[in-house]
Structure 1
Amino acid sequence: MKLFTVKNVAMPSMIWTAMSLLAGAPAFSQKAVPLKNQPLFTRFNYQGNDRVYADNPLREGEFYSPILQGCYPDPSITRKGNDYYLVNSSFSMVPGVPIFHSTDLVNWKQLGHVLDRPSQLKVEKAGISAGIYAPDIKYNPHNNTFYMITTQIAGGIGNMVVKTQDPAKGWSDPVKLKFDGIDPSLFFDDNGKAYVVHNDAPPRGKALYNGHRVIKIWEYDVANDAVIEGTDQIIVDGGVDITQKPIWIEGPHLYKRNGRYYLMCAEGGTGGWHSEVIFVGDSPKGPFKPANNNPILTQRYFPKDRGNKVDWAGHADLVEGPVGKYYGVFLAVRPNEKGRVNTGRETFILPVDWSGEFPVFENGLVPLKVRTNMPAGVSNQAGRNGFLPNGNFSFTDELTASRLDHKWIGVRGAREQFITSTKEGVRINPFPVSIKATAPTSTLFYRQQHAHFEATVQLNYTPATDKDLAGLVCYQKETFHYVFGITKKGNDLFVVLERTENGKSTIAGSEKLVAGSAVQLKVAAQGDAYIFAYSTDGKQFKTIGGVVSGDILSTDVAGGFTGALIGLYATSANDVQVP
């Protein structure tokens, strides 16, 4: 997990408050409303139009990075034979922890999600930036088992682990682990011994400055899935050089190479000072010596106004790729032209040079480029043969399949609690809560994956009262979002646009709607400039509210750790008041 910073000042207090206050909640339930009042969504289309891809067409032997566009932060990767598996933080998104598979580190398919059952995920009352932080995936060859260890800041769970022998066939229920802190990672040594490393607070009364953290290690009992009491010790205090007051040493991973142990961590907090650093020792418990060329990955030294800016690089994980070549996955952001981050922290990949004592991300200490050279012998199949698209792709979903695409998620509650898949499209059973609630809402979400994009959906819907609304939302969190939908005032139908900033809502525009026909709703963005429009004939679109700012959809304004989401939304507790 990474901590959002403004001007390099970490803001962790909400995390620890959430850790202590959030408790479990029963699954949200809702009685079905009459079918005629259940909106029918069909024919969703998303198109990315970022100029960086148009200006940098791929050449032979290249692929685009980020490999996962949109809110896919805190990547972790592992390998079994020729199979690579990658996971990401999911916070309060449901299902939790998306998992991807590749055989070449270039072409990826989503297998599904690690946490896909209510028994695994307790986020019903969690804010959007609580829930699942910094999952770590590891394969243990000694028992042919995959492990995913993470911190669930919800439901009173804390640090936990799940496991499987086949990542494509489901994971166990969580085992709670008895230690504090965040960002746990497992390490399985050649001799079969196992360890957990994680971020934690310094001993009580020993914190020297705001952001002072430590890395701890525990021995891990594989047979009983528990840390061994009394084996914990601090292996890094503060960071590379505590005299410089480094902040937020976190996201640790242990590796073994040529008989030595390497500890790689993020340092600097998510934000402009983010980086990746590395240490070496002769034992898993250290002592650990920092590399003299730290950081080994960062974007913090370059002009703020550089073109095609990629920033905040860090929170990395390493894997040995084809023919012994190492690669590193990490998070970074691509701000829009106003410098705001709407797409969230994305997953990037770079080759790693480990010809010397320490690994170094190739081209990770210069401004990051959009194109990366592929491993030898690999062909780019992005968007073909079931592999994820990349660059300026489109995604079209008629919403008529019996099972939703993995790209569709809920927030705080499972999609299956409020949707019905039909041959005509997806019907949403409206919950009696609005998008402003810190509760499960009846909303299907798709990640915003470009700064410049257009998304449309067709909606068949006749609200019965002014408490009914259905349409699109652009959502950063429960207190920062746009609602663009159809509701009722008196005997008339209206399409209305509402902006909510820090919990305060204002109407940006509305217009009376002729009843009796399907409506297409559209949101389009050109960086910070968003427009919301509708059409009753599928050809001519009319804008509601003019051009509005996407500022509230950025982490810079809204705070938190997620990217913007585009939602298909319905509610029977509408509070958007038509003027």
Structure 2
Amino acid sequence: MKTSKFNFEWLCNRKTMAVLACLFLASGVSVEAKEKAPKNAPVFTNFVYQGDDKIYKENPLQSGEFYNPILQGCYPDPSITRKGGDYYLVNSSFAMFPGVPIFHSTDLVNWKQIGHVLDRESQLKVEDCGISAGVYAPAISYNKNNDTFYMITTQFSGGFGNMVVKTQDPMKGWSDPIKLQFGGIDPSLFFDDNGKAYLVHNDAPDRGKEQYEGHRVIKIWDYDVENDRVIPGTDKIIVDGGVDIKKKPIWIEGPHIYKKDGRYYLMCAEGGTGGWHSEVIFVADDPKGPYTPAPSNPILTQRYFPQNRANKVDWAGHADLVEGPDGKYYGVFLAIRPNEKDMVNAGRETFILPVDWSGDFPVFENGLIPLECKLKLPKGVEYKAGKDGFFPNGNFKFEDSFASDSLDLRWIGLRGPREKFISIAKKGGLQITPFATNIKEVKPTSTLFYRQQHSSFSASTTLKFKPKAENELAGLTCYQNERFNYVFGVTKKDKDYLLVLAKTAKGQTTIVASTKIDVEAPVSLQVVADGNDYRFNYAVEGGEYTNLGGTVSGDILSTNVAGGFTGSLIGLYATLTNDIRP
């Protein structure tokens, strides 16, 4: 991945990035706005998202195969745990609300989203932070000693810092957060067979001992399960810098401890979450070390291959291991699939690979060669993606008529609950009660988002909206963050109703194009992306689509240009503080 020095540091220095973002930048949800909607509140119907990636057309599934990644779009930093035959997986969510999507599987291939871990305002306070702040690197684990699940994470907002929530049934919700008194990021819990517990995390070196930019350490603490706290004075550095500090490795992070055959294995990400990302492994005879690195590190990476390779998968790392139903180990991890311009628009996605642990150390099978889009199904597993509530893969279609009393879990808000601005209209469709904020502000917005999950796709919706004044706007947005986005919506100027396409880059908004439009009939809005080329189209009263603004670049929707850790989102957007004035 070719990036500027600024963007590379943005990608690697996760803690600094989160602090800067704050400074300047569950179950089905009942669809009922808490505030009374105005009579002319916009109503959206018939949302359709269709993936159209070339790789899936050229690589159709054969019998006994499934697609990788298993979660397409912005589902980064996966962590996984097991209780019996049930597997649970969580992802980072940053300032998205609700936070930390959680998935369930019995076979590691077919996944259903069962909700979000942080689905209440008492758990998640992200109302005033940039989209790439908020919740980082959640780690989920099951403690068989007390039959309890834990999700531990760093929340860079709301005064939380490092925190943990608990439940005995992930299907039934989680506790309020318990604040933990230690610094650093990426905490993870390990529960030993003898009832003891430990916490590992990334941290800065001891004061005055930092040797280079990106020098980090892994610490371990004894953890008090009864009182949910680290035990003061028990902290110890178990990895300094990384596998070999003489080579100045950067950003050792995302640690997890596993126990196998009486020995303790510490697995970490190394190299930053960009082009030098990798996964490395250490071993010890005691959970507090000393830890010895494997001689064959890294055990997973994509950094050694030509940048112009076809169907490139890159940035692989930040992994977690679990024993599968067949007794074989598997690893979930993040990676990206850039478009033809090497732009990362869909964000970091969740992949899976089988792991060979027949030797002294685990190794991701085919994790040290260019990753492919298909894997063989484990024996006896049927591929059910897109059926019976299981998450889809490949070039799937997602449709929502908004006819249900509950909202699909794939819809998310930003910095605040969706329930505060959405409701079902009397004549059907999703009604948005607009806030007096717009998407360039670091505040909750009245926008319902769906993740971009392909490089090439189309997304469309039908809008019924008659604005009363210039400050009102409703429509579609393609949104990377508060400073980089497109808005394609209906507003008013004098006595005319206008459809406008606006581009915001580096926080500065320019109007790409606008046209007068009849708002007495519903208008259909559509965005079509072909890799890095985006086109915004409209149709009135079921007619043919007409383009507005020509072909525009999707580069501002990429991590390369916009920075941060999220992928591009497609939003149904309404505001009472429109500042796009043709």
The answer to whether structure 1 residue 132 and structure 2 residue 112 are counterparts is: no
The match for 1:151 among 149, 154, 157 is 154
Contact 2:463 2:524 in 1 (8 A): yes
Displacement of 1:327 in angstroms is 0.2
- Tell me the SS of whatever aligns to 1:6: helix
CA pair 534-8 structure 1, distance change in 2 beyond 3 A: closer
Separation in 2, partners of 1:241, 1:216: 17
CA deviations 1:514-543 (Å, max 9, x no partner) are 130000000010000000111003241111
The match for 1:89 among 89, 92, 110 is 92
Separation in 1, partners of 2:391, 2:97: 20
Q: How does 1:305-316 map to 2 (within 5 A)?
A: 305-316=308-319
Question: Aligned residue for 1:221?
Answer: 224
CA deviations 1:160-181 (Å, max 9, x no partner) are 0000000010000000000000
Q: How does 1:170-185 map to 2 (within 5 A)?
A: 170-185=173-188
Displacement of 1:350 in angstroms is 0.3
Contact 1:5 1:11 in 2 (8 A): no
CA pair 22-418 structure 1, distance change in 2 beyond 3 A: same
Q: Give the structure-1-normalised TM-score.
A: 0.96
The answer to whether structure 1 residue 297 and structure 2 residue 300 are counterparts is: yes
The answer to whether structure 1 residue 499 and structure 2 residue 476 are counterparts is: no
Contact 1:4 1:559 in 2 (8 A): no
Contact 1:5 1:271 in 2 (8 A): no
Contact 1:260 1:280 in 2 (8 A): yes
CA pair 341-166 structure 1, distance change in 2 beyond 3 A: same
CA pair 4-373 structure 1, distance change in 2 beyond 3 A: farther
Contact 1:183 1:251 in 2 (8 A): yes
Letter in 2 for 1:78: T
Contact 1:315 1:330 in 2 (8 A): yes
Letter in 1 for 2:468: A
Displacement of 1:17 in angstroms is 3.2
Q: How does 1:65-464 map to 2 (within 5 A)?
A: 65-422=68-425, 424-464=428-468
CA deviations 1:370-392 (Å, max 9, x no partner) are 00111110010111111111100
Question: Aligned residue for 2:557?
Answer: 553
Question: Aligned residue for 1:574?
Answer: 578
Give the ranges of 4+ consecutive aligned residues of structure 1 lying more than 4 Å apart after TM superposition.
Answer: 18-23, 30-34
Contact 1:19 1:154 in 2 (8 A): no
Contact 2:21 2:132 in 1 (8 A): no
CA pair 446-398 structure 1, distance change in 2 beyond 3 A: same
Separation in 2, partners of 1:323, 1:12: 36
Letter in 2 for 1:540: E
Separation in 1, partners of 2:208, 2:11: 21
The answer to whether structure 1 residue 483 and structure 2 residue 464 are counterparts is: no
Question: Aligned residue for 1:27?
Answer: none
Contact 1:49 1:450 in 2 (8 A): yes
- Tell me the SS of whatever aligns to 1:15: helix
Separation in 2, partners of 1:214, 1:421: 50
Instruction: Report how many residues are paired.
Output: 570
Displacement of 1:20 in angstroms is 8.6
Separation in 1, partners of 2:365, 2:15: 35
Separation in 2, partners of 1:4, 1:232: 34
Displacement of 1:400 in angstroms is 1.8
Letter in 1 for 2:171: A
**Superposition CA RMSD, Å:** 1.7
CA deviations 1:113-170 (Å, max 9, x no partner) are 0000000000000100000000000000000000000000001110000000000100
Displacement of 1:61 in angstroms is 1.0
Displacement of 1:59 in angstroms is 1.1
Q: Give the structure-2-normalised TM-score.
A: 0.96
Separation in 2, partners of 1:509, 1:451: 24
CA deviations 1:223-269 (Å, max 9, x no partner) are 00000000000000000000000000000000000000000000000
Question: Aligned residue for 1:526?
Answer: 530
